[in-house]
Amino acid sequence: MRYVIDFDDAAADLEERIGARARALRRITALGIPVPPGCAVTDVACRRFLETGDLPDEAWHQVVDGAQGILSAVAAIDPGHPTTFAVRASPPVDMPGLVDSVFDLGWTVEVHDASTRWATPRFAAETRRRFAEGYAAVVRAVPVERIEAVRGRDDATTAELEEAAGAIEALIVAETQRPVPPDPLEQLREGIESVFASWDGMPARRFRRANGISDDVGTGVVVHAMVHGAADDDSGAGVAFSRDPVDGAPAPVGCYRPRAPHNLVAADRTNLGADSGLPPELRERLEDALRTLEADQRDAVRVDYVREKGTLWIVDGRAADRSSPAATRIAVDLVDEGALETDEALLRVEADGLAELLHARIAPGAAPEPITVGTAASPGAATGIAVFDSASSLRRAADGTAVILVRRETTPEDLSAVVAAAGILTSHGGRTSHAAVAARGLGTPAVTGATSAHVDAQAGEMRIGTATVQQGDMLTIDGATGSVYLGPVETLPPADGGHLERLLRWADEVRRLRVLANVDTPAGAEVARKAGAEGIGLARTEYMFSGERLSVVRRMLLADDERDRATSLETLEAMQTDDFVRLLEAMDGMPVVVRLLDPPLHEFLPGRVEVEQQLAAARRNGQPTEDLERLEAAVDTWEESNPMLGLRGVRLAVVIPQIYRVQVLAALEAVRRRLDAGGDPRLQLMIPLVASLDELELVRDMIEEEVHFAGRQLEVGIGTMIELPRAALIAERIALESDFFSFGTNDLTQTTLGLSRDDAEEAFLGEYLAQGILTDNPFQTIDRAGVGRLIRTAIEEGRAANPELEIGVCGEHGGDPRSIAFFHEIGVDYISCSPPRIPVARLAAAQAAVVTAS
Amino acid sequence: MRYVIDFDDAAADLEERIGARARALRRITALGIPVPPGCAVTDVACRRFLETGDLPDEAWHQVVDGAQGILSAVAAIDPGHPTTFAVRASPPVDMPGLVDSVFDLGWTVEVHDASTRWATPRFAAETRRRFAEGYAAVVRAVPVERIEAVRGRDDATTAELEEAAGAIEALIVAETQRPVPPDPLEQLREGIESVFASWDGMPARRFRRANGISDDVGTGVVVHAMVHGAADDDSGAGVAFSRDPVDGAPAPVGCYRPRAPHNLVAADRTNLGADSGLPPELRERLEDALRTLEADQRDAVRVDYVREKGTLWIVDGRAADRSSPAATRIAVDLVDEGALETDEALLRVEADGLAELLHARIAPGAAPEPITVGTAASPGAATGIAVFDSASSLRRAADGTAVILVRRETTPEDLSAVVAAAGILTSHGGRTSHAAVAARGLGTPAVTGATSAHVDAQAGEMRIGTATVQQGDMLTIDGATGSVYLGPVETLPPADGGHLERLLRWADEVRRLRVLANVDTPAGAEVARKAGAEGIGLARTEYMFSGERLSVVRRMLLADDERDRATSLETLEAMQTDDFVRLLEAMDGMPVVVRLLDPPLHEFLPGRVEVEQQLAAARRNGQPTEDLERLEAAVDTWEESNPMLGLRGVRLAVVIPQIYRVQVLAALEAVRRRLDAGGDPRLQLMIPLVASLDELELVRDMIEEEVHFAGRQLEVGIGTMIELPRAALIAERIALESDFFSFGTNDLTQTTLGLSRDDAEEAFLGEYLAQGILTDNPFQTIDRAGVGRLIRTAIEEGRAANPELEIGVCGEHGGDPRSIAFFHEIGVDYISCSPPRIPVARLAAAQAAVVTAS
């Protein structure tokens, strides 16, 4: 069996077994770019080692042959070269937790002497100490702090270096009862085995589990000759990129450090010019190598290089990591240069990264220490004055002042202030809090749940530790990271849309999934339309019952008799009609899917504690308490032990049918007005929380009755939210009465997993993720085995019963690339997500289409 | 097409289309028992009528022929007989909401005159008024109160009767613009059509919907000659049963009312003897008819009969309604008499009725007006003194006094008092409250949620309206009806077990499903074992954390450091070991399935309001508040917005693994002690709320580690509760690591339907049932289309992966006959239910087996 292959061996039969780094180095060698002589060991050797605790003899013999070949090859180039080995992991994909590299293996007294001769005594001493440190820490797992204790200073003299190396070698004996083997091949063997063994360590296992990679493969290993960037003044090391990894500009960038061993050089892009110390002809050769490699890879590349006594060696070469703007620009430029097809370009940009591109960002390096960090609730950076109540916020915003609305948490009453603010900061609530959802719907930056902040609205201030922020103080929030800064911070404007626009246009051409937006307000609709939304997939009507209208809603809920209630309902109808008109106007010609009222009624009432306090106060002061007592009774009536599973959604239509009827009337009236105004309103009404066909029929009948009664041909689609397992399980029946299904994946995840998002994310989801019991947060990425299976079944059976059935997804998963891939796969027609995720969704949908087609 | 068939026509081709009553009357006729001449009209005629609004001509001609035949047949027997027709519904099954009967159709001036001649003017006048009343109310739907206003007194003179009849006839014209048709056949036609039309009325449709009967069939109709129980002194009418419908004693009972039209006789069993007025030879003939009919039906029967001028006519004959004890005795006696096979006998008893047989019952007629009525939470009647706190309850019960524990609601702290009480009464909580669940587990009668009662434990009294019950007053509760009575009430002891025992033994022979019990305490285990339980299918360990132990649990939850926590955990371990030992002892040789801790932790802490009040009081009084503040912080930490979907079940094992470990250690130690004592402990540990394989593996590893560590071969089964949709959906994976699945159908119903039982039953489930949107309460009878589908899939896929997998159900559906039929059908191995439901489950399981086999 063949376990080892030289870099320059033309045979391709082991390519699949040697890992990515080894493949890259063989490829670079084949392109005629100088790579130190070396060979690769297969993952089969790794597997055998892990199973038996020993390298197979046959594999070891082949490694020895490979090492001899490396020695001969080096000797042929430079007979005096003091040759040692680098052993480096070459796993199938990048995998944190593996031992990455062990350097200078094969260090012996003879090599030490040769090093002194080939370079200087100091070089020999430095290399020896570095070797000993690596051997102790990586091969023998001696605790780093003990090594630190004996390694001496960085600027040690040659004698001190030798002494320190000796001390580390002694430490190895003391800690592991075995000296560094005098046999260079034994050192090589131990090095290879330590890389192999790390495959089974906890960190690597956890990573594989989290990424769905099988434990049963193993890692390849690369062995190559060490080349020395610290040999003399004609030596050095560096990193170079074929294009700028930060902005994607199409020219090489990188760095060079003279007299440096390459493994100590950090990647940066600051200095590859004439003043870097890199001679022009070498820079020329390096840029040639980058060009050759980029042309070969058809992608921006990064190389790690060493200059040894004037000779250039490439020791690593791979696709360059890059920022989202850079990825976008590089992909588009490569198409323009004819290197890529547009389909390939679409796959080169990570969709998730686009969420932030359309927003202002904190300039790199500009951020001071944050005063607190909360949940990154809605992306974008915003600077403004801190304001602690809605009224002031509205007043200041009306003056044109940028305002950061700071609250403990926001409620429906704060909505107009949220709309007017430049950014939102709350001390409570997570990614699904009112503030977070409202901000994302508006594309407004928001940080929520900054728990270390104590917001005192009464006093008009926020205290964090000993610091106090007062009304009017300048704040900056970064909704992409959750950071909050005192004062203004330099921000970059939203990325130049040119490249992104082109990429997304290509995406629009290939994707099959339509992309709609979850927005509730005309302002949100504007933002969504600009981001490329093809309509509204979820307009929550709760907001129509918020703000100053809450008092009307409460009057309705507290009504003593039907007449009282009817009056409040009429008021609400008129208000909602205007809302619907403006929403349909903002999305003229595009579908607008309106969800009938969903939340439990107690959300429209004040909290119990608040009412009790008011009541106690009124009693103390001898004020009339009748109204408060009625309020208390209503709070009693609508209070629930598990509101998520209580009286909400379509259940409201069964118990208080008037509320839905008013919404339907308002929506139909809005359609009529838009038609009269020459518009093209495309209203669809969506019924939430359906669990049975009868519920659906009840509301459907109500809607059709009103449409009929309207006496004019109003075309209104009627659809069902599938957000309970039972709805998915009886999809075949429900489909017969539905024009469309819209999967509410948030609630469907909650019920399928029996997991309250609010409670779980606060209390234990973190623990689940940390212990690897969950690999993904199921509220971010769809749980395929459970929730996904229900969705797939519901689509199949729903379509079988009603081939005209349209299928959408309007949960937050509609903006998650991995979930979008799944939705594409199972035949969803459209996804709907918050405005900031629309570019993400457009690209992810396109990627899914490209991947499926290929 | 044939629409009509005479009673005495031998052809059987229309049997399926004429309904049950017509079939019975044809059968009785065929047996030679005198039935008035008559014929039956098919449901096809009904269908046609409902579709077109008219009887088909062909059908009508056949009806006319049938009517002529009836007239001829009567004339042949008694030429002077003033013959009119009875039209009566004959639906496929009994169906409330249909027009049952219209009498005396064909009433004309000629018939009136003939009646006067055949009997007396008074008879003619009485019959005329009765006819007019029926025609007005049933055929023409004149509001009953308007008829009442003109019908005159019951003891009217003949002249007044004629006048009243005329007034009703005038009312018919006034209300419906049409007189009673003078043509007797037209009256007959209207009568038949009114029965047919009632098939489409709302009440009948609702009933069909609730019982899964198709709307598309229709009802048959019976037309027969009227016979008159009020003709003279040799006339009368009555009802007779072949066996006593109350206790099942094998002798005829019934009643006879001289000079009474049969439709006014109520069924009772008080007077069929010599003093009833029924001549002995007629009684002989009646008993002959009952015997013949019972022999033919092989079941106890009821007949409605008329004595007309000395001649006996049977006008209705069918299986007799009966009480549960009667049904049991009759079925067993019929087997002893050789009339039935045991399998048939099993199907003759309604399983649901058995729940009360093993308990004391209020004697019929003994109950006074209840002082309040709550939820029937645990069956049985109990009398005892009212006691308002747990301590007094325990003290009095220890003296041997029967005690009714009266509380607002019970908490885990009250458990020992609940165990000691003869009955439980609470003013709050439903069928799933702590009190209800605990009482059912113990077989103790309980009434919960008697909301009109105001329980004041401090004052030691309960106020209901203006009445006050004080500590020590005697109360009687009926847990089968929810009624509460002041003072003692005569009760019957549990039904004589003889017949029931035999029936259940037959049931045990044929059933495939094993029946286990949901009990938590040794006392409950005793009750369950006596009721025939084959082990414990669900022992909730929560109770081990209740009562005086709560303080230890709280210490554990509030522990500052690991040492503190460990001390509390050790105490809990010792306590639980004793509990497990006693449970295993009570069920020696039978499986005991112990569920590891399930409820959210806040249930072990006091309520927020209570803590806040204590804290406020302590602050006012200058007492130390540190402990209370820690308690407050803990309440904060463990409070959840949707506790049902929060940190509970196996999630506890992820976040606080020590709790489960202590339970496992205690359980294993108990097994060891039982083995040492020569017992046969069969412990199975069950893990609640599993949603992923990793959770299961985590606890399984913990258990296996402790089993291994125990250093002795302890056989302990490890199983998974399937109570979340996701668990059912990934059953294939979970099965590989499970010895058994136990479906927790309560929680599975809650999550699949997105329905919190507590909230829904209080707030809107009633409305759903009333509107027919739900036909059954899904918490009582399993929802086949949703929850049932998940269970079926999980069983199929679980067994495919692990053929050894045992399947149980431990939700409350395990005691519901219709659900049990489903569980049998889909291959469940055992069901587990509360002790009172065990006889129900044994019989229902047998019925399912018999039905499937036949």
pLDDT tens-digit map of B547-585: 778 888 888 888 878 888 888 899 999 999 999 999 999
- For range B61-83, the mean pLDDT: 96
Encoded tokens for B57: 């001509």
A255 part of the active site: no
HEC readout, B343-370 = HHHHHCCCHHHHHHCCCCEECCCCCCCC
Instruction: State the 10-residue block means of pLDDT for chain A, 854 residues long.
Output: 93 91 96 97 96 94 97 95 96 87 95 96 95 95 93 92 96 95 96 95 79 86 96 93 90 90 69 80 95 96 95 94 91 96 96 84 85 90 93 87 92 83 90 84 89 87 89 92 92 80 96 96 91 96 83 84 86 92 96 95 82 86 88 84 93 92 94 95 97 94 86 86 98 96 97 92 84 87 97 98 97 95 98 94 98 89
User: Residue B710: which pLDDT band, with cuts at 50, 70 and 90?
Assistant: confident
Catalytic residue among B39, B46, B255, B810: B810
pLDDT of residue A22: 96
How far is residue A849's CA from residue A351's CA, in Å, rounded to a whole number? 13
> A751 contacts in B (CB within 8 Å)?
645, 725, 751-752, 754
Residue to mutate among B613, B642, B732, B774, with most A CBs inside 10 A, is B642
How far is residue A724's CA from residue A692's CA, in Å, rounded to a whole number? 10
CA closest to A747 among chain B residues = B754
Q: Name which of B692, B753, B767 is nearest A654 (Cβ-Cβ).
A: B767
> B758 contacts in A (CB within 8 Å)?
641-642
- φ, ψ (nearest 5 deg) of residue A495: -55, 145
pLDDT of residue B271: 66
Query: Is A783 in CB contact (< 8 Å) with chain B?
Result: yes
**Could B694 and A774 be called an inter-chain contact, meaning their C-beta atoms sit closer than 8 Å?**
yes
In angstroms and rounded to an integer, the radius of gyration of the C-alpha atoms of chain A is 33
Angle of helix A693-709 relative to helix A657-676, nearest 10 degrees, comes to 40
**Could B646 and A723 be called an inter-chain contact, meaning their C-beta atoms sit closer than 8 Å?**
no
**Could A759 and B642 be called an inter-chain contact, meaning their C-beta atoms sit closer than 8 Å?**
yes
Query: Is B714 in CB contact (< 8 Å) with chain A?
Result: no
**Could B760 and A786 be called an inter-chain contact, meaning their C-beta atoms sit closer than 8 Å?**
no
C-alpha torsion sign, points A179, A182, A186, A190: positive
Q: Is the pLDDT of residue B264 over 70?
A: no
Which of the two residues, A416 and B239, has the higher pLDDT score? B239
Distance from CA of A98 to the nearest CA of B (A): 24
Tell me if residue A304 falls in helix, strand or coil.
Answer: strand
Query: Is A723 in CB contact (< 8 Å) with chain B?
Result: yes
pLDDT of residue A614: 86
Q: Name which of A760, A763, A786 is nearest B725 (Cβ-Cβ).
A: A786
CA closest to B761 among chain A residues = A646
Q: Is the pLDDT of residue B825 over 70?
A: yes
**Could B645 and A789 be called an inter-chain contact, meaning their C-beta atoms sit closer than 8 Å?**
no
Q: Is the pLDDT of residue B206 over 80?
A: no
Please list the alpha-helical segments (H only) found in A375-466: 390-398, 415-420, 434-442
**Could B754 and A768 be called an inter-chain contact, meaning their C-beta atoms sit closer than 8 Å?**
no
Interface of A with B in 648-707 (CB under 8 A): 651, 654-655, 689, 691-692, 694-695, 698
pTM value is 0.86
In A545-691 the beta strands, taken as DSSP E runs, fall at 591-595, 682-687
A810 part of the active site: yes
Q: What's the pLDDT tens digit per position in B269-306?
A: 666 777 788 899 999 999 999 999 999 999 999 999 99
- Beta-bridge partners for A483: A373, A478
> B747 contacts in A (CB within 8 Å)?
754
Beta carbons of A664 and A703 less than 8 angstroms apart: yes
pLDDT of residue A350: 94
**Could B773 and A695 be called an inter-chain contact, meaning their C-beta atoms sit closer than 8 Å?**
yes
Beta carbons of B237 and B229 less than 8 angstroms apart: yes
Beta carbons of B241 and B252 less than 8 angstroms apart: yes
**Could A752 and B724 be called an inter-chain contact, meaning their C-beta atoms sit closer than 8 Å?**
yes
Residues 6+ apart with CB under 8 A from B488: B383, B474, B476
Q: What is the DSSP string of A11-69?
A: --TTGGGSHHHHHHHHHHHHTT----SEEEE-HHHHHHHHHHSS--HHHHHHHHHHHHH
User: Residue B742: which pLDDT band, with cuts at 50, 70 and 90?
Assistant: very high
- For range B53-71, the mean pLDDT: 96
pLDDT of residue A753: 97
Encoded tokens for B834: 């509360």
pLDDT of residue A364: 78
Q: Name which of A726, A764, A785 is nearest B752 (Cβ-Cβ).
A: A726
Q: What is the DSSP string of A176-209?
A: HSSPPPSSHHHHHHHHHHHHHHHTTSHHHHHHHH
Identify the burial level of A338 via C-beta atoms within 10 angstroms of its C-beta, where 0-12 means exposed, 13-18 middle and 19 or more buried.
exposed
Which of the two residues, B99 and B533, has the higher pLDDT score? B533
Catalytic residue among A46, A255, A810, A833: A810
Instruction: Report chain B's mean pLDDT, rounded to a whole number.
Output: 91
Q: Within 10 Å of residue A804's Cβ, how many Cβ atoms?
A: 9
Percent of chain B with pLDDT over 90: 67
Tell me if residue A412 falls in helix, strand or coil.
Answer: helix
Q: What is the DSSP string of A550-565?
A: HHHHHHHHH-SSHHHH
How far is residue A326's CA from residue A245's CA, in Å, rounded to a whole number? 6
Query: Is A735 in CB contact (< 8 Å) with chain B?
Result: no
Inter-chain CB pairs, A–B, below 8 Å: 170
Q: Within 10 Å of residue A592's Cβ, how many Cβ atoms?
A: 27
Q: What is the ipTM of this complex?
A: 0.85
pLDDT of residue B265: 65
Query: Is B45 in CB contact (< 8 Å) with chain A?
Result: no
How far is residue A335's CA from residue A352's CA, in Å, rounded to a whole number? 21
Angle at A112 between CA A107 and CA A113, to 5 degrees: 145
CA closest to A763 among chain B residues = B647
List C-alpha distances in Å: A143 to A148, A166, B687.
9, 17, 40
Q: Is the pLDDT of residue B480 over 90?
A: no
> A642 contacts in B (CB within 8 Å)?
642-645, 756, 758-759
Query: Is A212 in CB contact (< 8 Å) with chain B?
Result: no
Encoded tokens for A815: 């903006």
Encoded tokens for B16: 């399926």
Query: Is B599 in CB contact (< 8 Å) with chain A?
Result: no
Q: What's the pLDDT tens digit per position in B392-420?
A: 888 888 888 999 999 998 887 788 888 88
In the block, which residue shows the tokens 């937006």? A517
